Amino acid sequence: MDLNRYIDHTLLRATATPDDIIKRCNEARAHKFYAVCINSCYAFLAANELKNSDVKVAAVVGFPLGASSCHAKICEAEQCVKDGADEIDMVLNIGFLKAKLHKSVREEIAAVKEVIGNRILKVILETCYLTDDEIKMACQIAKKAGADYVKTSTGFGTGGATEHAVKIMINEVGDSLKVKASGGIKDAATAKKYIEMGVSRIGTSSGIEIVTSTKKNTDEHSY
């Protein structure tokens, strides 16, 4: 299992500087991670740093609360694409979902998908705030809205990915959408566990530790 090809190498903290982003891009290139995941203001910088590599740029939208206006999310996503982002990870409107304003949630996701075209759209559910039924509903809404992925967490909520939430998501979307697990994934064993469950992408700021510990274990057992 090539864990590096599942990893979105993530840096979303508020204090991240341009130099931090450049370092993260260089790390992603060196370890052949699938993508970097960064805040939208750094989409252009990351795209420029990675233009001669296979590493994708995933930019977050409506992050981390999901409570910005629909228009703001559309504009942010559109700017990310102009700046060179290959993928968008958007936070759905959690309050609207909990209020059962399903049409509004669906229309917002669909509008973001429309403006980014054939680029990948991942919808962040922030499962730590949702009941099982709300997770199922969020998956159905994302599917109807034309999203490509559902994603567990921002990493900024009260909890990250859990086996329970991931199992619900995988069962709910079947083969129609992919699932990204993120939030609190810090070691190779946890990453492998989610991949074996059926997850297609891992969001983590611990990607280097995950892949180097795997290589170290392989080396130790290769004599």
Task: Indicate which residues carry an active-site annotation.
Answer: 89, 151, 180
> Is the four-CA dihedral 170, 171, 173, 174 of positive or negative sign?
positive
Q: 151: which strand partners?
A: 124, 180
What type of residue sits at position 133? D
Q: 149: which strand partners?
A: 122, 178
